[in-house]
Amino acid sequence: DIVLTQSPGTLSLSPGERATLSCRASQNINNNYLAWYQQRFGQAPRLLIYGATNRATGIPDRFSGSGSGTDFTLTIDRLEPEDCAVYYCQQFGTSPYTFGQGTKLEIK
Amino acid sequence: QVQLVQSGAEVKKPGASVKVSCKTSGYTFISYHVNWVRQAPGQGPEWMGIINPADGNTNKSPQFQGRVTITRDTSTSTVYMELSGLRPEDTAIYFCARVATGVKGFVHWGQGTLVTVSS
């Protein structure tokens, strides 16, 4: 199985700052099929980014994805209080389609 | 609009089985695979498996091989996930989820079904 390791575990930033979240894979992800999700408490995950760099429908351009191969990044510009959530990466390149363990983003 | 509506919460004893349903609507049922994902309390999501509603073929995570059965009923556009040999560590919210055309990511999610395993 492909193991996805996310860092940092927790990120605490102020409104208006930039958040940089990392997702590292134990092996190359085929076709860069890497997705990012936002999960607020008590809700299902919400797709933000797919194919490493493509924003899902309705996602603000403050959210952007980058990377390829084994190293991927989610960047959130101009943080807002509503961005407080846990963020997960998931790979669709090879079955089983594993998830990372998550990065908790706190807004001060 | 696309909807995935799951069955209600379940409480089971260790060793029992649970069957969760996911009724779909708003699209052509056989056109999209449906996945099952679970999330234990305080943990990240965990992909369990996928079914092709057109032919019933499934692909399951090795972690659940032998314990999980995924089926579908095309007459009601419903997908089912049955997990046997339940253990306390199977306590989790179970979600069904689906991609959208050209999107390798879960766009559509069910509301989740809490399964509690306790003696």
Q: Decide: residue B8, CB within 10 A, 0-12 exposed, 13-18 middle, 19+ buried.
A: exposed
The angle formed by the CA atoms of residues A95, A96 and A98, to the nearest 5 degrees, is 120
Cα dist. B21→A51, B15, B38, B81, B108 in Å? 29, 20, 14, 7, 15
How confident is the model over B89-101, as a mean pLDDT?
96
The tokens of B35 are what?
Answer: 């996945």
User: For residue B89, what pLDDT is reported?
Assistant: 97
Give the sign of the dihedral formed by CA A22, CA A28, CA A34, CA A38.
Answer: negative
How confident is the model over B61-87, as a mean pLDDT?
95
Q: Are strands B18-25 and B78-83 parallel, antiparallel or unpaired?
A: antiparallel
Biggest alpha carbon–alpha carbon distance for chain B:
44
Q: Residue B10, Cβ neighbours under 10 Å: how many?
A: 16
User: For residue A90, what pLDDT is reported?
Assistant: 98
Share of chain B above pLDDT 70, in %: 100
Residue of chain B with shortest Cα separation from A103: B44
The angle formed by the CA atoms of residues A88, A90 and A85, to the nearest 5 degrees, is 15
Low-confidence residues in chain A, pLDDT < 70: none
Q: Which residue has the tokens 């995935």?
A: B4
How confident is the model over B41-60, as a mean pLDDT?
96
Q: Tell me which chain B residues have a C-beta less than 8 angstroms from the C-beta of A35.
A: 104-106
How confident is the model over B37-62, as a mean pLDDT?
96
**Closest Cβ opposite residue B109 in set A45, A51, A100:** A45
User: For residue B51, what pLDDT is reported?
Assistant: 97
Q: Tell me which chain A residues have a C-beta less than 8 angstroms from the C-beta of B97.
A: 44
> Which residues touch B60 (CB under 8 Å, ≥6 apart)?
B48, B49, B50, B68, B70
Share of chain B above pLDDT 90, in %: 95
Q: Residues in chain A whose beta carbon is closer than 8 A to a beta carbon of chain B?
A: 1, 31, 33, 35, 37, 44-45, 47, 49-51, 54, 56-57, 88, 90, 92, 95-102
CB contact under 8 A, B103 and A92: no
Judged against a pLDDT cut of 80, whether residue B65 lies above it is answered with no
Judged against a pLDDT cut of 90, whether residue B66 lies above it is answered with no
Convert the pLDDT of each residue in B17-34 to its tens digit.
999 999 999 999 999 999
CB contact under 8 A, B46 and A97: no
**Interface membership of B27 toward A (CB under 8 Å):** no
φ and ψ at B76, to 5 degrees? -120, 5
Distance to chain B for A3, nearest Cα, Å: 12
